[in-house]
Structure 1
Amino acid sequence: MQNFDVVVIGSGPGGYVAAIRSAQLGFKTAIIEREALGGVCLNVGCIPSKAMITATHLLHKAQHDFKTMGLNIKGGIDVDMKTLVNWKQSVCDKMSGGVNQLLKGNSVTIIKGNAEFKNSKELTVKSSTGTDTIAAKYFIVATGSRPIEIPGFPFDEKNICSSTGALAFDEIPKRVVVIGGGYIGLEISSYLRKLGTEVTVIEANSSLLAGVVDPECAQVVTRKAEKAGIIIKYGAKAKGQKKVKDGFEVTAEINGKDEVFKADKILVTVGRRPNGDQANLKAAGIAVDERGFIKVDAQRRTNVSNIFAIGDICGQPMLAHKASHEGVMVAEILSGANRVYDAKTVPAVVFTDPEIAAAGMTEAECRAKGYNDLLISKFPFAANGRAVSMSETDGFVKMIADKKTHVLLGVHIVGPEASNLISEAVLAIEMGARLEDLALSIHPHPTLGETMMEAAEATLGHAIHIIQKPLAKSGKSAHA
């Protein structure tokens, strides 16, 4: 039997961060991983998808913008899919290897295998070399989540794929049917369409990204997706699929009638489910709710006092950066710090074309919380010099503030580099900043970041680089 102070189960963005911070604080720490270090995010999720999105974005620029700029390419651009996928994998391997070095550099013991609790103080790890017993004073469960599989569409990751299989195609598929118009489905649809794939999205709701992002932001992405040739079927429910001579036929019910769509590959992206049915949590007495999430308090402590849970396994939002934040927090709580999870906002990013990023509340959420008198306005990227010079002018920065105090309540961005711009909004919201704090902070020119300052000015009613009417007394958008 091996004994540790802290044992972390799962090496994703929550787990490896928790292990490193625990070791830094002087705990004898081990981390258990059954697959690749870095978990889903680094190996089959966030990182590989962004690599593919980046590559195809460059391809699209070369095909559509270069000629306008006077950059003439003789002949077409040939895509070597196997090389592209190998490059994507090299990115993942570098990131996973980096995690390995960080863990070893902080004297964290890495244990490969599948962990299962025996009781609240011990677990077993099964691997190809046998079974070991591990004991610890504290456990941190960071076992994450997995794609939801729907009836009639069993994953084989070759023809019927989750995001994992869709990021590993060794050749460009001619036709893909995507079931689910959420952020994962749309990110992959975007990169496949730029490779020339015919993409059909089957979405059960009446709009894309419903309830996920600001509706106006979603509209910009939807328009561009449709302009790019992505076919979107709303109010559609996938019923089944069958193999035919030239691929697959996917049947979906739309407005009470069945429609059939041809596909070479089928991608199912209807969400993710927590791995609450794994690691034999019951043996440790850990309470799990009906959806599979581990029940935790504000310190991420489970009902078993020496066991904590972080990341996807303990609830929404199921985002890597939230897991990392919790990992540091729990390690510091174990060392005696008086901390709780009290983030005002967890930013969310959708890497579509253009990107969407959000921090704080939507207008509907503000009103639901009693903020009925709001200042709301937008600043378009079309009025930003850097965006124009990049030939990426779709979208805007939208700000929502309390009219009485001017305190910033929400920022919603759709446009180039939205993922990088949103961090300023996160800091502003966490600090309780007012619109004036952003508007009076000098932003460098020419940059995309200027849109944050200009959006704040627009919300205050005195934008410089757009023409706007005076703000209405009701506090509604100046661009009504």
Structure 2
Amino acid sequence: MAMTDVLVIGGGPGGYSAAIRAAQRDCDVTLVDRDGVGGTCLNHGCIPSKALLTASNLVTELESASRMGIYAEPFVDVGEMIDWKDDVVDRLTGGVEKLCEANGVTVREGTARFTDDHTVEIAATDGTIDELEFETAVIATGSHPMSVPGFSVNDDPILNSRQALALEGAPRSLAVVGAGYIGMELSTVFAKLGTDVTVVEMEDDVLPGYESDLTRPVKKRAESVGVDFQFGQVAVEWSREGDGTVTLHTEGTDGTDHETTAERILVAIGREPVSDTLGLEAIGLEPTDAGFFETDDRTRTARDHVFAVGDVAGEPMLAHKAVAEGLVAAEVASGGDAALHDAAIPTAVFVDPEIATVGLTEADARDAGHSPVVGEFPFNASGRALTLAETEGFVRVVAGEDTGRLLGAQIVGPEASELIGELGVAVETGLTLEDVAGTVHMHPTLSEAVMEACENALGQAIHTLNR
């Protein structure tokens, strides 16, 4: 029987990072994935969606450039755009494959299933099955889109996020079920490419879970490009129409019935972990009712020689969290010592404008027993934001009143996903408002807004009124 020191099941960011790091620590490593390396993030999620967001944003930027004295009517070839997106994906996945090979990781395509504490059987795509013995295992099987009863993605007009990103053209009209981050990102892409988009959401606002002042500019921008929102409605069923369209039937929270007609229906209500293919009964490991694995700060499951990382290890389902967990798992599985530091895991929604957060909100800080002090700086007071014609939003920082230490931050506006990095470092390392405010920031840049938000919290802002 073939043997390996470290078995990694799943080739997404958490899995391939764990595999490469374990190999760097002189372990014999085998990575098994049924779809090849890259996982959902590189192949069907983060990367293709951000590529299409970039392209569709460029379309609207050109269309609105008249305010700068530039007049353009862009012609969009969606097929060529998809080809460019696919090329980006291929370059990244190909790069990861080469890195695995260069680091000595053995990559196998197939589905791994535990047969006992230290053995898996691997069912290859050609139907062959063989066994592999391992010392330690890292489960990184990721997640897949959640479904709505009666809305099977096997029916032609029904799409999940993976299928939507693989479309060869933009549909004329699209009904989107869910206004979370996936639904909002994809509805924005298609609306900017000319699709008539209607979003149905059971809650009363977009991006449930985020503060309303963060989501307000996002909803406003989406509506400006033609997205129609119907809140307080639940998808019930769908029916085909004679003209080739479909009708989405929804029920309002007040009991009323509603209908939305479109060419396709996109179900984007979230994701759920993939843990039902692993044969867990063979190793006495049981996930939670939601399908997640409970882990300690070293990513160990209830079985000390089995680790879990990424989406399958619980919220938040973020690629960068998966990478961090994968690196910790590799260190511990290979005999080293490492632990997770999760106080400053940033989140981002790549909508328009972007939203990014890290650490605690003001309400979180109060609930945790802090007396928070808050500072904000609006982008409409930023010289760089004005020159970019992107003035919606703000940077907000939350600190402890007694210590001045940064506890969290929230940003909505241009390049929020990039700006949050500095504040993540500040929260993780315990920097104070004075530390950040006293650091000279380049002018004119968006990052000055971070500095000025900290100055605002101190009552020392120059380019906005102090609280």
TM-score interval, smaller chain: over 0.9
SS in 1 for 2:48: helix
Does structure 1 retain, via aligned residues, the 8 Å contact 2:10–2:142?
yes
Output aligned runs, 1:139-218, within 5 Å: 139-156=137-154, 158-211=156-209, 213-218=210-215
CA distance in 2, matches of 1:331, 1:418: 31
SS in 1 for 2:422: helix
Q: Which residue of 2 aligns with 1:96?
A: 93
Matched, 1:250 2:239: no
* 1:431-463 CA-partner distances (Å, limit 9, x unpaired): 111111110000001111111001111111121
SS in 2 for 1:5: strand
Q: Which residue of 2 aligns with 1:356?
A: 355
Name whichever of 422-431 and 190-199 sits farther off: 190-199
CA distance in 1, matches of 2:326, 2:445: 34
Question: Residue 330 and residue 249 in structure 1: after superposition, are their counterparts in 2 closer, same or farther (change >3 A)?
Answer: same
Question: Residue 129 and residue 240 in structure 1: after superposition, are their counterparts in 2 closer, same or farther (change >3 A)?
Answer: closer
CA distance in 2, matches of 1:20, 1:12: 12
Output aligned runs, 1:71-470, within 5 Å: 71-73=70-72, 76-127=73-124, 128=126, 130-156=128-154, 158-211=156-209, 213-246=210-243, 247-254=245-252, 255-371=254-370, 373-468=371-466
Q: Where does structure 1 lack aligned partners over 5 or more consecutive residues?
A: 469-477
Does structure 2 retain, via aligned residues, the 8 Å contact 1:158–1:165?
no
Does structure 2 retain, via aligned residues, the 8 Å contact 1:120–1:307?
no
Shift of 1:71: 2.7
- Count of aligned pairs: 464
CA distance in 2, matches of 1:161, 1:334: 39
CA distance in 1, matches of 2:67, 2:294: 55
SS in 1 for 2:99: helix
Does structure 2 retain, via aligned residues, the 8 Å contact 1:157–1:165?
no
Q: Which residue of 2 aligns with 1:40?
A: 40
Q: Which residue of 2 aligns with 1:3?
A: 3
CA distance in 2, matches of 1:374, 1:304: 40
Does structure 1 retain, via aligned residues, the 8 Å contact 2:305–2:333?
no
Name whichever of 388-397 and 287-296 sits farther off: 287-296
Does structure 1 retain, via aligned residues, the 8 Å contact 2:437–2:454?
yes
SS in 2 for 1:137: strand
CA distance in 2, matches of 1:458, 1:233: 37
AA matched with 1:242? S
AA matched with 2:337? N
AA matched with 2:38? G
Q: Which residue of 2 aligns with 1:61?
A: 61
Shift of 1:158: 4.8
Q: Where does structure 2 lack aligned partners over 5 or more consecutive residues?
A: none
AA matched with 2:145? P
TM-score of the pair, normalised by structure 2: 0.97
Shift of 1:100: 0.3
Percentage of matched positions with identical amino acids: 41
Shift of 1:256: 1.1
AA matched with 2:7? V
Does structure 2 retain, via aligned residues, the 8 Å contact 1:302–1:308?
yes
* 1:365-411 CA-partner distances (Å, limit 9, x unpaired): 1121112x321131011111111111111110011111121111110
The two structures, once aligned, show a CA RMSD in angstroms of 1.3
CA distance in 2, matches of 1:337, 1:30: 19
